[in-house]
Amino acid sequence: MTTSTDRGMWGSRFAFVLAAAGSAVGLGNIWGFPTQVGRGGGAAFVIVYLFCIVMICAPILVAEIVLGRRSRQSPVGAFKFLSPGTRWWWVGAVGVVTSVGIVAFYSVIGGWTIAYVWFAASGALGGGGEAAGDFFTRFTANGWQNVLCTFIFLGMAAAANAGGVRAGIERVTTALMPALLALLVLLAVRSLTLPGAAEGLAYYMRPDFSQAFNMTIVGAALGQAFFSLSLGNGAMLTYGSYLRRSDGIGRSVLMVVALDTSIALLAGLIIFPAGFSIVGFDPASSGPGLIFAVLPQLFATLAGGTLFGGAFFILLVMAALTSAISLLEVPVAHVVDRWGWSRPKAVGLVAGSAFLLSIPCALGNGAVESLSNLAPAAWGGNFLGVVATICNNFSLPITGMLMCIFVGYVWRVDRAVEELLADNAWFPNPKLWGLLVRYVSPLAIASILLGSIMAVL
Ligand code: PHE
């Protein structure tokens, strides 16, 4: 096993914030969030999502980082270290496996964004409109192109991870976040000024509360919140394990949550007004192709649309890569920490396994019929959807809930708070945090999971 001094540390608290933000901000915000809002019927989903972020996920993010910083280990080792001789390490192990599942489907969507850099910049998307939806359907039905794009995306993430990316992530994310935010604001302004935008805005901001109690939708909102903040699988725990004790956690968490949430909300502000200005647009039936059908239409209304389109997808690829690197980091750190493998060898094993699982994910979007219609819509429909549903809507919240129980009752809140406040660090309200972790988050997760399981059975 490597000792903590071999594992390396972030150079500063800011470096940690950049890496954590790089992990959180990705396809989950720009592709996942609008897709889920569309499936979930609009504004009611947004409200439930925000509730989950604030009351459930932000406190768990703190817990994960504390577990990592205190133990200086990747997830399995962290539980073994803090609670020796017990079976709590299983929580970490589930996180390791879940990460491989997420990387697998994530890389397929990452592959789509790579292809769209080319499509957008070369003008292949044309004028958008209904044709853009058809274009996406045709593209995802092409098996070998999809497997190839998946391979390229996963290969890039693996290479970056193997190369010991800390400095790289920092540099990429420092430039990426302001550029991404600026472009998103610009696109939102354009979208909001299109004819018919008001209808989309109402859909996005005026909740239909009958939907807020549909448990399938509430379960999806919880899963999306976990996925977007990179929670439950131990990514933030692993990143926290490289954090110095003198670097406070409170401010970092606030910054990461604020940035992640504003980027998701901005993405919705772009997609729905623009979407509703397209004749015959139906957010619910667009599924994973939603942003790929709407954005080309929006780019077509901009002078220099190919340029904006190309730039947008390049930024999205980069945001997705910094997330995929953090996903790989969980199983890779596990193999390095526990088995003593070298990093490149560990990356090879992890990325190789993820690629095998990503092949059916890539082929299940029209290329191979049996993989494309595998399950009822509530379970994700196709192979990619089923993997995503199991990982995001079940695995992440369950491990998140177990982490709360661990911190709240096994390792205990006072130890966690002591770690949080080490070196006179600033933290808003440790008492409230303890209450959220002990009672509110685990109970809320348990009831949402139960409700959503009963709703699909
Ligand atoms: N949060 C990332 C995104 O929104 C995905 C992710 C999930 C990364 C879980 C790490 C762990 O794209």
Q: How far apart are CA 227 and CA 326, in angstroms?
A: 12
- Which distant-in-sequence residues (6+ apart) come within 8 Å of 142 by Cβ? 367
**What number does the ligand 1 atom closest to the CA of 260 have?**
4
33 C-alpha to ligand 1 centroid (Å): 12
| Vertex 283 angle, CA 227 and 384, to 5° | 45
280 C-alpha to ligand 1 centroid (Å): 32
How many other CB atoms sit within 10 Å of the CB of residue 193?
A: 11
* 347 close to ligand 1 (CB < 6 Angstrom): no
Confidence (pTM): 0.95
The torsion region of residue 443 among left (phi > 0), alpha (psi -120 to 50) and beta comes to alpha
Q: How far apart are CA 245 and CA 66, in angstroms?
A: 10
Token pair of 205 as six digits: 């901001």
Cβ(19)–Cβ(25) below 8 Å: no
3-state secondary structure of 421: coil
Q: Which domains does the chain possess?
A: 13-456 (1.20.1740)
* 227 close to ligand 1 (CB < 6 Angstrom): yes
DSSP class of residue 209 equals G
Is residue 328 classed exposed, middle or buried when 0-12, 13-18 and 19+ CB atoms within 10 A define those classes?
buried
Q: How far apart are CA 235 and CA 284, in angstroms?
A: 31
pLDDT one-digit tens code per residue, 207-239: 988 777 889 899 999 999 999 999 999 999 999
**What number does the ligand 1 atom closest to the CA of 227 have?**
7
If one residue of 228, 256, 318 were mutated to test the ligand 1 pocket, choosing by the most ligand atoms within 8 A of its CB, it would be 228
Q: How far apart are CA 5 and CA 312, in angstroms?
A: 39
411 C-alpha to ligand 1 centroid (Å): 26
DSSP string of 53-104, one letter each residue: IIIIIHHHHHHHHHHHHHH-S-HHHHHHHHSTTSSTHHHHHHHHHHHHHHHH
AA letter at 263: I
127 C-alpha to ligand 1 centroid (Å): 32
Among protein residues, the one whose CA lies closest to atom 9 of ligand 1: 230
Q: How far apart are CA 416 and CA 420, in angstroms?
A: 6
Task: Kindly state the greatest CA–CA separation across the chain.
Answer: 64
- Which pLDDT belongs to residue 123? 83
Q: How far apart are CA 99 and CA 14, in angstroms?
A: 25
323 C-alpha to ligand 1 centroid (Å): 5
Among protein residues, the one whose CA lies closest to atom 12 of ligand 1: 26
249 C-alpha to ligand 1 centroid (Å): 19
Q: How far apart are CA 97 and CA 108, in angstroms?
A: 18
* 261 close to ligand 1 (CB < 6 Angstrom): no
Q: How far apart are CA 16 and CA 22, in angstroms?
A: 10
356 C-alpha to ligand 1 centroid (Å): 20
* 20 close to ligand 1 (CB < 6 Angstrom): no
Cβ(37)–Cβ(46) below 8 Å: yes
* 34 close to ligand 1 (CB < 6 Angstrom): no
* 297 close to ligand 1 (CB < 6 Angstrom): no
Q: How far apart are CA 191 and CA 195, in angstroms?
A: 9
Q: Which residues of the chain have pLDDT under 70?
A: 1-7, 126-130, 165
AA letter at 79: F
* 29 close to ligand 1 (CB < 6 Angstrom): yes
Q: How far apart are CA 351 and CA 401, in angstroms?
A: 28
